């Protein structure tokens, strides 16, 4: 077995052999390739009934990996068919039938950020704006809230053209609504590790005392979902500096959150760079990585600078690599 495309051809044949004849007659199984964040490519099989526009897609990347690790094709396809039958028995909301006109979705817009250099193909398919520090923001529409979390869809270039969204209006509204729908939340790493309830530290006005100051803080949104974008909400960078009373580093821990480290609590810059790099390489799934680069905020100049992680290794002074 050379690649996932060959596996999918085998899978199609096997899947159809498991399904009832009456269902097979009205079903077309199509290959589907989807580009996700960080240019992660998902290969799937879309099982489309002839009389239905919407069709579930079963993604095959993990199944292919399990097959390559020795699991039986028949067992894997039986599991896949079971998943498909579950989807058609309890279908998700039909996005294709929703009213996605701007007037209808404007209050449900929100943002997420990605690193531009990691997302060349992904960003070719979605409208975006540059946020600085090598990041781009894209728009999501929250379609539903449920027990399993939010159902979101990303605004693609195709959707924007079809619904005739205005680019400037889309993003200005998304920036405004993000602060309402997904407000920024900052809490100490200590309270997170100890599962303590702590109020949002961004809500105070005075600087946190030295006795109460933690060595690190988590900045995200209320759902901790694509919350790294909160760093770019208007006034948030300045507010963090006000509360800390000093300059700080930003460690891009994932697309869902960033870590804030007061400069007075920070170890050597090489150690910080190593922490970020090791976490991205060994702890996070590729789809969740934000960046290897550290950011540094100067409270006097009110400038958020980029310190390129790959340039720090073996270099004593990172100052020249700030941009």
Give the tens place of pLDDT for each residue, 120-167. Answer: 999 999 999 999 999 999 999 998 776 666 788 999 999 999 999 999
CA distance 294 to 159: 34
CA distance 256 to 150: 14
pLDDT (mean) for 288-308 = 95
Query: Mean pLDDT highest for which of 50-64, 142-156, 266-280?
Result: 266-280
Q: Across-strand partners of 146? A: 149
Residues whose CB falls within 8 Å of the CB of residue 227, separated by 6 or more in sequence, listed in order: 182, 184, 185, 219, 220, 221, 256, 257
Domain-wise residue ranges, the chain: 4-91, 97-181, 184-321
85-93: long-range contacts (C-beta < 8 A, 24 or more apart)? 87/56, 88/56, 91/54, 91/56, 92/151, 93/143, 93/144, 93/151
Residues whose CB falls within 8 Å of the CB of residue 38, separated by 6 or more in sequence, listed in order: 114, 115, 118, 119, 122, 286, 287, 289
Quickly count: other Cβ atoms within 10 Å of residue 290's Cβ. 24
Q: What is the pLDDT of residue 94?
A: 55
pTM: 0.86
pLDDT tens-place string over residues 180-196 = 999 999 999 887 766 66
Q: What is the pLDDT of residue 308?
A: 82
Q: What is the pLDDT of residue 22?
A: 85
pLDDT tens-place string over residues 70-83 = 999 999 999 988 88
206 or 301: which carries more pLDDT confidence?
Answer: 301
Strand 135-146 with 149-154, pairing: antiparallel
**195: phi then psi, degrees, rounded to nearest 5:** 55, 40
pLDDT-based confidence at 87, cuts 50/70/90? confident
Q: Across-strand partners of 221? A: 184
Q: Hey, what are 73's tokens? A: 């094709």
Q: What is the pLDDT of residue 96?
A: 54
57 or 300: which carries more pLDDT confidence?
Answer: 300
Tokens 């809490």 sit at which residue?
Answer: 187
């Amino acid at each position: 077995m050379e690649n996932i495309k060959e596996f999918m051809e085998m899978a199609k044949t096997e899947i159809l052999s498991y399904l009832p004849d009456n269902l097979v007659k009205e079903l077309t199984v199509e290959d589907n390739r989807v580009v996700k964040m960080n240019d992660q490519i998902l290969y799937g099989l879309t099982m489309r009934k002839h009389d239905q526009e919407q069709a579930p897609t079963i993604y095959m990347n993990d199944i292919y990996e399990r097959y390559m690790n020795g699991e039986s094709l028949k067992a894997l396809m039986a599991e896949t068919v079971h998943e498909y039958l579950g989807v058609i028995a309890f279908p998700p909301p039909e996005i294709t039938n929703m009213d996605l006109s701007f007037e209808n979705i404007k209050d449900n817009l929100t943002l997420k950020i990605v690193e531009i250099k990691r997302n060349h193909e992904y960003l070719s398919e979605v409208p975006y704006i540059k946020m600085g520090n090598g990041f781009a923001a894209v728009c999501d529409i929250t379609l539903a809230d449920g027990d399993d979390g939010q159902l979101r869809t990303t605004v693609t270039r195709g959707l924007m053209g079809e619904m005739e969204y205005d680019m400037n209006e889309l993003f200005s509204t998304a920036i405004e609504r993000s602060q309402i729908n997904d407000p920024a939340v900052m809490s100490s790493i200590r309270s997170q590790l100890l599962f303590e309830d702590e109020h949002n530290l961004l809500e105070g006005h005075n600087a946190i005392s030295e006795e109460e100051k933690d060595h690190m803080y988590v900045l995200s949104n209320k759902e901790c979902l694509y919350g790294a974008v909160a760093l770019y909400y208007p006034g948030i960078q300045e507010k963090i500096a006000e509360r800390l009373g000093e300059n700080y580093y930003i460690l891009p821990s994932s697309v869902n959150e960033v870590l804030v480290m007061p400069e007075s609590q920070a170890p050597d810059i090489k150690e910080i760079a190593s922490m970020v790099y090791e976490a991205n390489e060994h702890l996070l799934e590729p789809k969740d990585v934000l960046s290897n680069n550290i950011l540094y905020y100067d409270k006097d100049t009110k400038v958020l600078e980029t310190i390129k992680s790959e340039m720090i290794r073996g270099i004593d002074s990172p100052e020249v690599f700030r941009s």
